[in-house]
Chain A
Amino acid sequence: DQQVKQNSPSLSVQEGRISILNCDYTNSMFDYFLWYKKYPAEGPTFLISISSIKDKNEDGRFTVFLNKSAKHLSLHIVPSQPGDSAVYFCAASEKNTGNQFYFGTGTSLTVIP
């Protein structure tokens, strides 16, 4: 069963506007979350992470928000750029489980120039 879900397979946004990618999870024991970006024919690359002791983490144009009560996290990209067009995966893990990460199915973001 899918413990991490990304319900929007695709998203299109105009250049310069905000992109919001969403992710829901079912396991309340998850306490560490990451976002990855993937271009075709390449492996995923790490974008940003957040632990459950925080509700927000920022890194340049990327901000991740975590709502533990709703078991929901989101990635905001502001402003969106054409080079941001890629597939974005969220992933989650429980403390003390090493690197066993559960990934969502991905959201394909297209930023229109």
Chain B
Amino acid sequence: KAGVTQTPRYLIKTRGQQVTLSCSPISGHRSVSWYQQTPGQGLQFLFEYFSETQRNKGNFPGRFSGRQFSNSRSEMNVSTLELGDSALYLCASSLAALNEQFFGPGTRLTVL
């Protein structure tokens, strides 16, 4: 069974640009969650999608948005990038709520 895949793995952008990250969950998983990992902050929850609906949202500004498609693939968008958005963005999928989450390798975003 293929694991969670994230593309691209690395990305360099400049301030003010926007970026779209993609996540393909494990086949059959309907829940996809996104996290931001920065040094000293651990993993911060961004949002969770389940069956194309945003089920939960963390404490991030509206510049961070996402969506989920009918095949459970998910995208995350960050608009008007700031230097502080430089981080590792992790996607995790699971079968259902409060189930073990399987993480992808992450997308390393650098904002210059």
Contacts and interface: CB of A to CB of B under 8 A. Distances in A.
Interface in B14-65: 31, 33, 35, 40-45, 48, 50, 55-56, 58
B98 to A, nearest CB: 5
A88 to B, nearest CB: 11
A99 B100 contact: no
Interface stretch (A14-22, A42-50, A61-69, A71-79): A42-50
A43 B58 contact: no
Size bracket, chain A contacts:
20 to 34
B4 A43 contact: yes
Interface string A75-113: 000000000000001010101111111111110000000
Nearest to A105: B42
Nearest to B104: A43
B103 A98 contact: no
B59 to A, nearest CB: 10
A101 B103 contact: no
A103 B79 CA distance: 25
Contacts of B58: 100
A20 B56 CA distance: 32
B103 A43 contact: yes
A41 interface: yes
Interface in A1-49: 2, 4, 6, 32, 34, 36, 41-46, 49
Interface of B: 4, 31, 33, 35, 40-45, 48, 50, 55-56, 58, 90, 92, 94, 97-106
